Amino acid sequence: MNKFDYLIVGCGFYGATIAQRARDLGKSVLIIDKREHIAGNAYTEKIHNINIHKYGAHIFHTSSGKIWNYINQFGKFNNYRHKVIADYNNCLYSLPFNMWTFNQVWGIKNPNEALEIINSQRFLGTPRNLEEQAISMVGYDIYNILIKGYTIKQWNKDPKDLPPSIIKRIPIRFSFNDDYFDDKYQGIPIEGYTKLIENMISGCDIELNSNYIDNRNYYDSLAKKIVYTGPVDQFFEYKYGNLEYRSLSFETEIIEQTNNFQGNSVVNYTNSDIPYTRILEHKHFDMIDSNKSTIITKEYPKNFNINNEPYYPINDDKNISIYNKYKIMKDNIKYKFLFGGRLAEYKYYDMHQVIGSALATEI
């Protein structure tokens, strides 16, 4: 006899949202996670009164009032608006691409001048890859300064070998609005993401340091329904081969007697010969400057293998073809299993999209 109504594998935003909804319906829920903490990649740890984003920057943004109202039930958000600086050969540029960027690259002052230069440099055919897509959007100069080197580091592939969809998510503005996101609602939980997800899963049983794949027969016997948020290819024992990901490693440093290291939460390094892609300074996410010290994290892209975490799905034609075979297998067992989240759906989701998917899931 099943002990729980739901077993949820993975305590990121998808698992936490399903858990919260199930508990709200009076269902019993067991959440397990192979890590030693809840909150998945959104996990934050407080050091020197600063919330450290342990697995990279997480900025909550959405234009959905439904999603914003939902997540605000579980914690208060500050009014942080994400702005990114790019460093190329020790020169600084504004991201995403806006009139500040165009002024910094070309010295121009109005949108018509920027558009004229971009039009003279555009790729005019139908973009077949990331390089052609980027050049069709912003021209050769900006591509070479701000996109090419960063992309090579991030994906360990020539931009000609990456799908055009990867770059489409970056906005371009012919105004001096340098907000990274256009969404109506933006912010970061004041108490950190870990506390936010802790509030979401209140009333659930939790087991950490527990690997579902290593003991799946036991865990499957515990619940009527299994919600799986891990890698879909691993679930099906790689029957159709491995799906490709990029991974990351992080180098965090406490800098004593320094109140402000770089003046911004994120600085991207777009030269291909600098090994890290960006430096985070965490206090700026919290919008505080009173500390006598600061904490930074350098983010290094790396190849994915079984010993590190998958972060970014490589959604090219080859991998999508493999995933579609796994999707058929998922559909055949949906009476017992639900699959959701970035890894189980092999999608490059943002947090609000994960929550939206979980809210739309029939449970």
Q: What is the pLDDT of residue 280?
A: 98
**Domain presence at residue 140:** yes
Q: What is the mean pLDDT of residues 328-344?
A: 97
Are both 61 and 140 inside the same structural domain?
Answer: no
281 noted as active-site residue: no
From 170-174, 255-259, 288-292, the region with the lowest mean pLDDT: 288-292
59 with 27, same domain: the answer is yes
For residue 168, what pLDDT is reported? 86
Same domain, 158 and 98: yes
pLDDT at site 316 = 87
Residues 220 and 339 in one domain: yes
Asked which of 136, 168, 200 is the last residue of a domain, the reply is 168
How does the average pLDDT of the chain come out, rounded?
96
Cα 25 versus chain centre, distance: 29
Do 140 and 156 reside in the same domain of the chain? yes
Whether residues 96 and 120 fall in one domain: yes
In a domain, 276, yes or no: no
Residue in 24, 36, 169, 256 annotated catalytic: 169
Q: Does 21 participate in catalysis according to the annotation?
A: no
Q: Where is the domain boundary, 142, 168, 194?
A: 168
In terms of domains, do 196 and 72 share one?
yes
Q: CATH number for the domain including 235?
A: 3.40.50.720
Catalytic residue, chosen from 278, 311, 323, 345, is: 278
Angle, vertex CA 169, rays to CA 100 and CA 250, nearest 5: 85
pLDDT surpassing 80 at residue 357 = yes
User: What distances in angstroms separate CA 134 from CA 118, 142, 144, 288, 293, one per listed residue?
Assistant: 11, 9, 10, 35, 39
What digits encode the pLDDT tens for the residues 13-55? 999 999 999 999 999 999 999 999 999 999 999 999 999 999 9
Whether the pLDDT of residue 343 is over 90: the answer is yes
Mean pLDDT over 153-182 rounds to: 93
**Range with the lowest mean pLDDT among 109-118, 239-248, 287-296, 298-307?**
287-296
Q: Are residues 132 and 116 in the same domain?
A: yes
Active-site residue, from 193, 246, 345, 346: 246
Asked if residue 259 is part of any domain, the answer here is no
**DSSP alpha helix (H) spans, the chain:** 13-24, 65-71, 99-106, 111-121, 130-142, 148-155, 165-168, 193-200, 216-220, 232-235, 283-286, 317-332, 342-345, 351-360
- The pLDDT tens digits of the residues spanning 50-74 come to 999 999 999 999 999 999 999 999 9
Q: Is 350 a catalytic residue?
A: yes
Average pLDDT over residues 181-188: 97
328 and 208 in one domain?
yes
32 inside domain: yes
Return the pLDDT at 2.
85
CA torsion, points 171, 172, 178, 182, in degrees to nearest 10?
-40
Annotated active-site residue 207? The verdict is: no
Residue 290 has pLDDT above 80, yes or no: no
Q: Contact, 132 vs 164, CB < 8 A?
A: yes
Mean pLDDT of 155-164: 93
- 299 an active-site residue? yes
Is 23 tagged catalytic? no
Does the pTM surpass 0.85? The reply is yes
Q: In this structure, are 61 and 93 located in the same domain? A: no
The answer to whether position 321 is within a domain reads: yes
User: In this structure, is residue 192 part of a structural domain?
Assistant: yes
> Looking at 286, 299, 316, 345, which residue is catalytic?
299
Contact 95, 87 (CB under 8 A): no
pLDDT at 292: 87
- The whole-number pLDDT of residue 169 equals 81
Cα→Cα distances 83→6, 261, 288, Å: 40, 16, 16
At residue 307, the pLDDT reads: 83
Q: What range does the domain containing 222 cover?
A: 4-76+186-243+313-360
247 strand-pairing partners: 302
Task: For the chain, give the percent of residues with pLDDT over 70.
Answer: 100
pLDDT above 90 covers a percentage of the chain that reads 94
Q: Which of residues 308 and 201 earns the better pLDDT score? A: 201
Same structural domain for residues 148 and 99? yes
- Of 183, 244, 286, 350, the active-site residue reads 350
Let me know if residue 123 belongs to a domain: yes
Annotated catalytic residue: which of 173, 205, 216, 276? 173
* pLDDT digits 0-9 by tens, 203-231: 999 999 999 999 999 999 999 999 999 99
What's the mean pLDDT in 84-98?
A: 97
Together in a domain, 218 and 93? no
Considering 112, 135, 168, which residue would you say is the last residue of a domain? Answer: 168
**Residue 9, domain member (yes or no):** yes
CB atoms within 10 A of CB 26: 8
Number of domains in the chain: 2
Predicted confidence band of residue 346 (pLDDT cuts 50, 70, 90) = very high
Whether 179 is a known active-site residue: answer: no
> What does the pLDDT average to over 239-251?
97
pLDDT range class, residue 360, cuts 50, 70, 90: very high
Give the integer Cα–Cα distance in Å for 149 and 90: 14
